[in-house]
Structure 1
Amino acid sequence: MSRRTRMATIDPTPPDARAEPIAARSFGSGATTISDIARLTGVSKKTVSRVINGSELVHPETRDKIKALMTELNYTPDPQARGLAFRHSFLIGLVFDNPTAQYIVNMQYGVLDALRDSGFELVVHPCDSKRADYIDGIRHFVQRQKLYAVILIPRVSEDQALAEMLQDLGVRYVRIASVALDDASRMVMTHDRRAGSEVAEYLESLGHRYVGLITGPKRYRSSIERGGGFRDGLARRGIALTDEAVYEGGYTFESGVAGAEALLRREPRPTAIFACNDEMAAGVYKAAQRMGLSIPGDLTVIGYDDSPLASQLWPPLTTIHLPVREIGRQAASLVLTKDRQSNPEGNAAITVSPHLVIRDSSQPPRE
C-alpha cells in the first residue's frame, strides 16, 4: 500500500475541544463503557474501538487523548464484547494429555508470562488421546470457546490429524515437540534426542559400561527421541544397549519402580540407569532401597525434566534440565505474533536446549 493510500484511510477525527468537561462526567452506578469514552472524547465508538484494538488508523493526538481518558477512568475493555467484534474470543487454549502435574503447572506459568498485559486469557483442556473421539472433543472445545489460538503439549502435539483439524477450523496453533512436525511458524522444538545423547556420553565418561534405560510409552515421540539419543550416544562410545537392558515405562513413579526392579535383577547388574523423566527416576530410588543398593555408591541414577522433585530426592538427582516455563512462554509468544503464522516462509524455528544438571546421584562405578 502506498503512503498516499495509507494516509487516506487514517481516521481523521481530531480532538474535540467541545468534549464534555471533566467536572460534568457522570456514569451513574454502572461501570465506564466504550460509549462513555466516546462521548467524553467527542469521537465515535468505532474510533475508540480502533484504539482499544491497536489500530494505526487513528490520528495520534486522538489516540493519546482516548488512552489518557481510559487510564484516568480505569476503563477495561470487555473481552467478550471484543470477541464478538472479531468473531473469536480473546482466549488461548492449552490442550494436554496426562503430563505430570508439575510439568503442566510450569507450562501454564510460562504461557501466563507471555499473555500478561496482552488482553488474552488462558483456558486449559485436559484430554485422553487414547479415546477414539478425543479430536472431536477438542473441536467442540475450540468452537464453544471461540478460541483465538491453541497450544498443543506432547503427546497431543504429535497428532497430525489434530493439527489438520485446527487448520480446517482456521484456528492458530503451536505444537511443542522434540522434532519438527510442522512449519517453523507453528513449532517450539525441545531437541530431546540431543539431551539423551548427552546423558550417554556423561555416563561413559564416568566409566559406566553396564547401563539400563527406562523409557516412556512407545507412542510418545519424546520417549522415542530420548531413548534413541541415549542409544546413539552409547554406540558412538562403543557401548551396545541390548533390548534386555531397556524397560518401557509409563512416565509414572510406579513404572519407574517396576522398571528398576526388572533391570537390577539382570546379570551383570547395571551400574547406572537413565530414566526418561524424574518421576520414574524417583521410582528407581525406591527399587534400589528395597534391594539394599545405595545411590550413587552401587547405582548411578539420572532423570529427565529437572522438576522440583529432582532436588528434593536424597541424594539430589542428576537430571536433564528441560526449561518448561520458557517453553510455555515461547509457545504463547508465537501464537500472539501474527506475522509468523501469516507468512511462514523464511521463519527460523524456535528451539530450546535441554542440558544436563549434575548432582549427587551420579559417580564412577565401583571397581
Structure 2
Amino acid sequence: MPPSRNKDAPAAVKVGAGKGGKAATINDIARLAGVSKKTVSRIINRSPLVREDTREKVEALMREVGYTPDPMARGLAFRKSFLIGMVYDNPTAQFIVNMQYGALDTLRDSGFELVVHPCDSRSPNYIDGVRRFVQQQKLHGVMLVPRVSEDQALADMLDEIGCRYVRIAAVAMDKPERMVVTHDHDGAAEVADYLQTLGHRDIALITGPADYRSAIERTQGFLGALERRGIVLPESRVVEAGYTFESGVAAAEKLLAAKKRPTAIFCGNDEMAAGVYRAALRSGIQIPQQLSVVGYDDSPLASRLWPPLTSVRRDTRDTGRMAAAMLLQSQDGPRPMASVRPHLVIRDSCQPPE
C-alpha cells in the first residue's frame, strides 16, 4: 500500500505547470491546490475571508511554480488597475533610478507594479502623450517627477480624466494629499551659511535652468541667505547652466577666467559640480586649496569625485517611497503633505579661503 499523503499538502509540481509547459495560470493554481479560483483570487488580494492554512498552502504552491499575478489581467477582473505610472522629463539617470527604487520599495508585495513614461515636456503634444499612456495602461495613479510635476496643465488634465496623481516638487503646488515637497530653498540656504562660516565672501553660483522650479528655489534660498549675512553677489558671479556636466564645465570656465576668481562655487546639482572639477583641473586650480565647491543632490557621484564633494542630500529613494505610498492610500478625507527635508553632507571639497 502506498504511503498516505496529507490531503492539505500541495501536489508536487514543476515550474511551468500550465498546459503545454506554459506558465501557470490562476486556474492551474486552483486545480493543483484543490480550491476554487475565487479562493485563489482572494489570497492574491489579501482578503481576510480565507483560512490561514489554506492561504499558506496556496502561497507555497504559487512560489513553487513561480506564479505571478498579471497586473493587467487583475485590473480587468477587478475593474481597477494595479499599475502605478511614473512620468518624468530628462532628469539625471541616477536621480530617476533612485526614484524608481523608492517606488518599488513601497510597491513590493502590494500587488501593484510600476510602469515608467519618459517624455519631453517642451514638445507641444506631450500632454496628449501622457493622456494616452494613462488611458491605455488604465493606471491606478501617477507619480509626477520634476520637471513635469511643475506643469499645472498636466495636473489639470489628469484631474479631468479622473486619474489620481502625486506631484514631487521643491514647493507646495497642489492639495497636501497630492504633494511630496523637497524644500530645496532650505537646502541651498544651508550651503550659503556654511560657506560664509568658512570665511568665503567672493562666492559664485551656477544655477539650473531658469524655468525649473527647483533651480528657482535653490537660487533664491542661496542668495537670500547670503544677503542676510551681508553678502550680495554681482550678476557676473551668477551663471545659468543646464543641470548637466557639460554645462557645468562651460559655466565654470567662464567664472574661472575672470581677472579675480571666486574662492567658492555652489552648483545647483552634482553633475554641474563635477563640471567645475573638470574646468578647475584644466586651469591648474586645486580643490579645495584654491577653490571650494559644493553640489546639490548628494548623488553617488559626490562621494566618487576627488576630493569627495560636499553636497546637499535629499533622499530621492525615500521621496519615491512616499509618493508611491500616497497613491496606494485611501482618498477618503484630507491628508497632511509629505515632506523630505534636505541637509548638507560635508566632505573634503571646501576649506577656508587662502
- TM-score, normalised to structure 2's length? 0.88
Change (3 A) 1:65 1:205: same
The equivalent of 1:98 in structure 2 is 90
User: Is contact 1:37–1:70 with CA below 8 Å preserved after alignment?
Assistant: no
* Cα offset, 1:94, TM superposition: 1.3
The equivalent of 1:349 in structure 2 is 337
User: Is contact 1:316–1:359 with CA below 8 Å preserved after alignment?
Assistant: yes
User: Is contact 1:37–1:66 with CA below 8 Å preserved after alignment?
Assistant: no
Q: Out of 248, 258, 270, which is 1:266 matched to?
A: 258
Change (3 A) 1:205 1:90: same
Aligned residues: 341
Q: Out of 179, 197, 208, which is 1:205 matched to?
A: 197
Separation in structure 2 between the aligned mates of residue 254 and residue 21 of structure 1, nearest angstrom: 62
Matched, 1:133 2:97: no
Matched, 1:297 2:285: no
Q: Following superposition of structure 1 onto structure 2, how do residues 127-166 of structure 1 map, counting pairs within 5 Å? A: 127-166=119-158
Partner SS state of residue 123, structure 1: strand
Partner SS state of residue 312, structure 2: strand
Worse overlay, 82-91 or 351-360: 82-91
Separation in structure 2 between the aligned mates of residue 166 and residue 142 of structure 1, nearest angstrom: 9
* Cα offset, 1:32, TM superposition: 5.0
The equivalent of 1:65 in structure 2 is 54
Structure 2 unaligned spans of 5+: 1-6
Identity between Structure 1 and Structure 2 (%)? 62
Partner SS state of residue 350, structure 2: coil
Separation in structure 2 between the aligned mates of residue 255 and residue 80 of structure 1, nearest angstrom: 42
* Cα offset, 1:41, TM superposition: 7.5
Worse overlay, 71-80 or 220-229: 71-80
RMSD: 2.5
**1:246-289 deviation digits (Å, cap 9, x = unpaired):** 11100011111111122223354211000000110111112212
Q: Following superposition of structure 1 onto structure 2, how do residues 105-254 of structure 1 map, counting pairs within 5 Å? A: 105-254=97-246
Partner SS state of residue 90, structure 2: coil
* Cα offset, 1:201, TM superposition: 0.3
Q: Which amino acid in 2 is paired with 1:52?
A: I
User: Is contact 1:149–1:172 with CA below 8 Å preserved after alignment?
Assistant: yes
Separation in structure 1 between the aligned mates of residue 279 and residue 30 of structure 2, nearest angstrom: 69
User: Is contact 2:87–2:143 with CA below 8 Å preserved after alignment?
Assistant: yes
Change (3 A) 1:344 1:128: farther
Structure 1 unaligned spans of 5+: 1-18
Q: Which amino acid in 1 is paired with 2:342?
A: P
Change (3 A) 1:102 1:27: closer
User: Is contact 1:41–1:66 with CA below 8 Å preserved after alignment?
Assistant: no
The equivalent of 1:257 in structure 2 is 249
Separation in structure 2 between the aligned mates of residue 298 and residue 158 of structure 1, nearest angstrom: 38
* Cα offset, 1:325, TM superposition: 1.2
* Cα offset, 1:185, TM superposition: 1.4
User: Is contact 2:71–2:113 with CA below 8 Å preserved after alignment?
Assistant: no
Q: Which amino acid in 2 is paired with 1:343?
A: D
